[in-house]
Amino acid sequence: MCGIAGIIHKKAGKGVNIGQQMTSMLQALKHRGPDSTGYAMYGKDNGNQILRFKVAEAADLEGSYDIHATIKDRLETVNSRLTELGVKVVKKESPTEYAHRYEVEFSGDMKKVADFVEDVEGVEILSIGNSLELVKDLGDASVVSNQYGLNDFNGTHGIGHTRMATESDVDIRSAHPYWAYPFSDVAVVHNGQLTNYWTNRRSLERSGHRFSSNCDSELIAVYLADRMSQGDDLETAMKGSIDYLDGVFTYLVATKDQLGMAKDVMAAKPMVVYEGEDMIALASEEVAIRTLFDHRIDTFDPYHGEVKVWQN
């Protein structure tokens, strides 16, 4: 079933508490997906790149063998490879033993960095961006938010997802959001099922794109990355996705300064939108949006096959 939510502030100034707002919305959607929760939030760009990656799955820590030594070795290898490429790490944070956040200085090709780091067995890049912070883990929004310290995250916009696993594993790899590799600051969340996933995945892989999971939702992120690499802007790429994707879907995509929504031609998956003068909020259910207000608001449902993009 899954639940998705998004918010964008048009006049955020120095930022608002996006972390608290997203947590409130996603917790209200917990009943739609209790397996995992994910955030893609956009904060201040100070010129550096934010690298989010994991060196193991949360469930690996419950195994019978010594995963702790393996995790340490993987992290040391990542650090060594970053140094080899000339990447300067200016700040390190480790919310968990397996999930890490690096702020780095690097003027070269970040795709090369991502490929070299991900070549380490068991390591997965979750996101790269100047302002994007992509966090996902097992549990509901309150658990993940507390675990990663997201309750005080200031920013301009974000998207999030609560997942009920149906056709892929309950793990971080299969959780949303998905980073639109190799594009900086692009992330996607999706509610629905894509029936042409494997056919289109093989086609995109032959074109040189990579997939990190077997979740059909990742196809959307990779497709958008492919179209933008060929010169499409976000809205054009999203409009193309309506015909490209087969199945039922509603998805949200965020970039450094935009939030977009697309709905399939059957409009089978729900989406409710609040559009105010300074803020737009979207969610699978109105109850999530109403957590942000203490007064009456008006909402609407997008049309079938509709694409909308907002800018901050």
Q: Pick the catalytic residue: 2, 138, 159, 188? A: 2
CA distance 161 to 116: 29
Residue 192 in contact with residue 170, Cβ under 8 Å? no
Q: Hey, what's the torsion of the CAs at 262, 191, 151, 125, to 10 degrees?
A: -90
Is residue 50 within 8 Å of 129, Cβ to Cβ? yes
Strands (E), the chain: 3-9, 16-17, 36-42, 49-54, 88-93, 99-105, 124-129, 132-138, 154-155, 157-163, 178-179, 187-194, 247-254, 258-263, 272-275, 279-283, 307-311
Q: Is the dihedral of CA 121, 182, 53, 217 positive or negative?
A: negative
Q: Is 215 a catalytic residue?
A: no
Is residue 78 within 8 Å of residue 92, measured between CB atoms?
no
Query: What are 54's strand-pairing partners?
Result: 99, 124
Active site amino acids: 2
